[in-house]
Amino acid sequence: MNPELRSKLDRITNVLFAGGVNNPVTYIEQLSFLIFLKLLDEEESRRELHGRLAAGNTRALFPGQSARYRWSEWRFKSGLDLRDFIRDEVFPYMASLVREEPQVAIYFQDARLEVEDANVLKEVVDEIDSISFMKLGTDVKGDIYEYLLQYLATQEGALLGQFRTPRQIRLMMVEMLDPDVGDSMFDPAAGTGGFLIDAVEHILAKYSEKPREVPIYGEEWLEKRGQTLAEAKKQIPNLQTYPKGAGEKIPDWKLLENGIYGIEVSRQMMRISMMNLVLHGIRNANIKRANALSELGGLTDEDLKRRYKVILSNPPDRVHFSGPAHELVLGHG
């Protein structure tokens, strides 16, 4: 991620925190809403272009009068006009698309805009508007969200363990199972989607022409140290690394997407997990809000009977999973 993009994200963080949105989970959720709206607008522009070229999916996301709910139509608003329009009109419209865009509707179900300060909201909208997500590679978009998720580290330790399992543990578990395209992968306590993301990145690297080696702490860690990976490894001989790639050789992207399943009891965290996957290139993962430990917790008969090839999770202590999983590796919080 280049310094300019990182600087934009830092400005957004500073503005939101100064404006009173300083609970990390709320902060990330609110940014997720706005990023999603920007992504939908960019997707609509892409479809319009394909429509003129008569290629690909050209069905409008914002047909007719609903075009006023597009990011590009309301981003110029300011003050209470902007805040009230997003809160009272844009969010409810998105939640109403149950038939047309069910995943969008699920994402915005019961969504609330919690950025009360209209001036703060305007600054954040302007900063996000300056980022063209479509022009960024999947790896960069994924890095954006991972950069934002670092603010969960400001939560108290007990809460942090609920959301984020250390990457070292996640990567070790993923490497042990070595998931592949076509495998069904499941996390019954998805949190921010870290296990599913690492499984996806493992597969992308496996199907890349030239995967690159990345330190466990991320590429920005190297930049801050002012070192190359070789220099860091010389200084830290046991430095853990993992491969990362674009996955340009994946034979069937839909097959990969359709094999990803996650359940999360918190609606906030479900949204964060969904956005994490979207920005990592997985737009159609099967993520839902439910209680994986109860047959009455929102699971369908299909959910209860489904078999998975790989289960990766960090469940609560003293939870015992039983069922038809072919492979099972569980971390413990």
Q: Among 161, 151, 165, 167, which Cα is nearest to 217's?
A: 167
Exposure letters 260-272 (e unless 16+ CB within 10 A, then b): bbbbbbbebbbbb
52 and 109 share one domain? yes
In a domain, 140, yes or no: no
Question: Tokens in use for 169?
Answer: 């543990």
- pLDDT above 70 as % of the chain: 86
| Nearest Cα residue to 41 out of 72, 87, 84, 14 | 72
Report which of residues 331 and 257 the model is more confident about: 257
Read off the tokens for 62. Answer: 């914002």
Residues 169, 259, single domain; the answer is yes
Residue 300: what are its φ and ψ, rounded to 5°? -85, 170
Using one digit for the tens of pLDDT, what is the confidence trace for 293-310? 877 778 888 888 899 999
Are residues 92 and 201 located together in one domain of the fold?
Answer: no
Domain co-membership, 306 together with 191:
yes
Domain contains 146? no
Q: Considering the domain boundaries, does residue 308 fall inside one?
A: yes
Is the pLDDT at 163 greater than 60? The verdict is no
CA distance 295 to 303: 10
- The number of domains in the chain is 2
More confident residue, 283 or 258: 258
Considering the domain boundaries, does residue 127 fall inside one? yes
Q: How confident is the model at residue 58 (pLDDT cuts 50, 70, 90)?
A: low
In a shared domain, residues 170 and 125:
no
**Residue 317: what pLDDT?**
54
- 273 in the same domain as 128: no
Average pLDDT value for residue range 186-201: 90
**Per-residue pLDDT band at 157 (split at 50, 70, 90):** very low
Say yes or no: 175 and 116 in one domain: no
Lookup result for tokens 């329009």: 85
Residue 55 pLDDT level (bands cut at 50, 70, 90): very low
With respect to residue 222, please indicate whether it lies within any of the assigned structural domains: no
Residue 153: the pLDDT is 62
- State the CATH number of the domain containing residue 300: 3.40.50.150
The reply to whether the predicted model has a pTM over 0.85 is: no
Cα 66–Cα 77–Cα 103 angle in degrees, nearest 5: 40
Q: What is the mean pLDDT of residues 160-168?
A: 64
Contact criterion met (CB below 8 Å) for 278 and 145: no
Residues in the chain: 333
Domain assignment of residue 52, given as a range = 3-135
**Same domain (yes/no): 125, 162:** no
130 and 191 housed in the same domain: no
For residue 199, the model assigns a pLDDT of: 94
Task: Compute the distance between CA of residue 121 and CA of residue 125 in angstroms, rounded to an integer.
Answer: 6
Contact call for residues 88 and 113 (beta carbons, < 8 A): no
Summary mean pLDDT of the chain = 83
Structure token pair of residue 9: 């994200």
Q: What's the pLDDT at 59? A: 63
Instruction: Report the alpha-carbon angle 5-12-34, nearest 5.
Output: 95
Q: Are residues 322 and 192 in the same domain?
A: yes
Q: What is the mean pLDDT of residues 321-328?
A: 42
123 or 42, which is more confident: 123
On whether both 61 and 189 belong to a single domain, the answer is no
Residue 145 located in a structural domain = no
Evaluate if residue 290 carries a pLDDT over 80: yes
The domain that holds 69 is classified in CATH as 1.20.1260.30
Q: Half-sphere exposure of 138 toward its Cβ, with a 13 Å CA cutoff?
A: 16
Residue 23 lies in a domain: yes
Together in a domain, 104 and 193? no
